[in-house]
Amino acid sequence: MDDALDRLASAIREADSTVALTGAGVSTASGIPDFRGEDGIWNAQFDPADFQVGRFRSDPAGFWEDRVKLHEAMFPGEIEPNAAHEALAELESQGWLDALITQNTDGLHGAAGSKELFELHGNAHRIVCMDCGRKIDAASVRERVREGESPPLCDCGGLLKPDVVLFGESLPEAIMAEAQRRARESDVFLAVGSSLTVEPAASLPKAGARDGLLAICNFDPTPHDDRTDVLVREDVTEVLPALVARLDA
């Protein structure tokens, strides 16, 4: 790992732009369960079909009741950013990281202090009104559902929806376009804790490594491993703080 991190740190020092992409593997150390692993949420507890956008439209009450249960499974206790989230925020604050793109909806990157943040799949802690577009904190809406208001409605009468990308929905065009631009213009693209199998985010490393260095840190193999310049199969909560230390030296 030391040689790989030395090479990565050297490349970041010389880069005009470094961009990172994170997936679920960054948040598991904070206690958030994996979604697609053998014991992940989609395999062990919930059916993804229950969270299709079509079901939200046709059965919003049933959708919301299941959504509250899903949220409780995703956030089983008090969840806080871990060392990997904090290291990425530190890389940005020191000027080494120009943008952070995440597939996660847990909000932990923002809580850790990341600013130039692109949440491709939205944020589970926000709710949006389908009519007026108002965005509110999700906790109060979930409590309303627990108390029997299902589906929950906005003050304007519009249907409230989790501010996340549901199955069957496209990613927000503006956010995805900006993420693709940042990836294309990066000299170093760092993919962390992602299987790199879920499109369209899975294609970002290809764009990011077109003329620059691609680094991947993930326990399991990814489709991009054979073309990566730096490959690390270690705990992200150890790798990223070690990278920060090298850049501080």
Tell me how far apart the terminal alpha carbons of the chain are, to the nearest angstrom: 17
- Who's near 51: CB < 8 A, 6+ residues apart? 63, 66, 67, 70, 166, 167
Please check if 132 is assigned to a binding site: yes
Q: Are 222 and 215 in contact (CB under 8 A)?
A: no
All residues at 6 or more sequence positions from 202 whose CB lies less than 8 Å from its CB, including other chains: 194, 196, 223
Task: Give the separation between CA 104 and CA 56, rounded to whole angstroms.
Answer: 21
Identify which of 87, 109, 107 has the alpha carbon closest to the alpha carbon of residue 217: 87
Token pair belonging to 50 = 């229950």
156 is an annotated ligand-binding site residue: yes
Torsion of CA 51, 29, 22, 138, to 10 degrees: 40
Establish whether 154 is an annotated binding residue: yes
Distances (CA, A) of 180 to 4, 40, 100, 170, 247: 26, 28, 12, 15, 26
Options 85, 109, 121, 224, the catalytic residue: 121
85 noted as active-site residue: no
* Best CA proximity match to 11, nearest among 248, 247, 249: 247
What distance lies between CA 149 and its chain's CA centroid? 29
Does residue 217 have a known ligand-binding role?
A: no
SS3 content of the chain, % helix, strand, coil (to 5): 45, 20, 40
Q: Hey, which residues are catalytic here? A: 121
Question: Residues annotated as binding site?
Answer: 129, 132, 154, 156
Question: Residues annotated as binding site for Zn(2+)?
Answer: 129, 132, 154, 156
